[in-house]
A = this chain, B = another copy of it.
Amino acid sequence: MELSRYLARYSLNLQYEDLPEEVVSFTKLCILDYFGSAIAGSDKKPVQIISNLVKDMGGFEQAKLFTGGKSSVLNAALVNGSASHMMELDDIHKGSIIHAATVVIPAALAIAEWRQLSGKELITAVVVGYEVCFRIGEAVSPSHYYYWHNTATCGTFGAAAATGKLLGLTEDQAVDALGNAGSQAAGLWEFIVDGAMTKQLHTAKASMNGTMAALLAQKSFTGPKKILEGNRGFFNAMSEEHDVSRIIENLGQEFKILENSFKVHASCRHTHHAIDLLIDIFKEHQPVLEEIESVEVNSYQVALTITDDADPQTEYAAKFSLQFCSALALLNGRASLEDFGEEELWDKDIRALMEKVNVHVDPAIDESYPRKWGATVTVLLKNGEKIYKQTDFPKGDPENAVTTKELLEKFIGMATIIPLQQRQALAESLMNLESIENISDLMKTL
A residues apposed to B, CB below 8 Å: 46, 49-50, 52-53, 56-60, 62, 72-75, 146-148, 176, 179-180, 182-194, 196-198, 201-202, 205, 209, 212, 215-216, 219-227, 230-234, 236-238
Contact = CB atoms under 8 A, between A and B. Distances in A.
Contacts of A197: 221-223
B183 A186 contact: yes
B184 A205 contact: yes
B219 A191 contact: no
A283 to B, nearest CB: 37
B183 A50 contact: no
A367 to B, nearest CB: 23
A107 to B, nearest CB: 14
A111 to B, nearest CB: 12
Contacts of A233: 188, 190
A77 to B, nearest CB: 11
How many of these chains are in the complex?
Answer: 2
Given A221-B46, A221-B197, A233-B190, A216 B58 contact: no
Most buried by B among A188, A190, A237: A190
Given A57-B59, A57-B75, A196-B176, A221 B49 contact: yes
Contacts of A75: 57
10 contacts: A57-B72, A59-B59, A147-B237, A179-B190, A183-B187, A183-B190, A184-B201, A190-B230, A191-B223, A194-B225
Q: Which 5 A-B pairs have the closest CB atoms?
A: A147-B237, A58-B60, A57-B72, A186-B186, A189-B232
B182 A188 contact: yes
Contacts of A187: 183-184
A284 to B, nearest CB: 38
Nearest to A78: B212
A387 to B, nearest CB: 35
Contacts of A215: 53, 56
A177 to B, nearest CB: 11
Nearest to A215: B53
B192 A188 contact: no
Nearest to A192: B232
B53 A188 contact: no
Contacts of A191: 179, 183, 223-224
A127 B209 CA distance: 29
Nearest to A205: B184
Contacts of A230: 190, 193
Contact of A234 (B74, B188, B205, B234): B188
A233 B198 CA distance: 13
Contacts of A216: 49-50, 53, 201
Contact of A196 (B186, B196, B224, B232): B224
B220 A190 contact: no
B184 A232 contact: no
Contact of A232 (B56, B147, B202, B220): B147
Contacts of A176: 196
Contacts of A209: 205
A236 B309 CA distance: 21
A183 B204 CA distance: 12
A222 B196 contact: yes
A366 to B, nearest CB: 19
A198 B186 contact: no
A354 to B, nearest CB: 23
Contact of A179 (B59, B198, B225): B198
B227 A190 contact: yes
A201 B177 CA distance: 12
Contacts of A193: 224-226, 230-232
A155 to B, nearest CB: 13
A58 B72 contact: yes
B224 A190 contact: yes
A317 to B, nearest CB: 12
A85 to B, nearest CB: 14
Contacts of A56: 60, 72, 215
Given A198-B179, A198-B180, A201-B183, A53 B212 contact: yes
A97 to B, nearest CB: 14
A184 B184 CA distance: 8
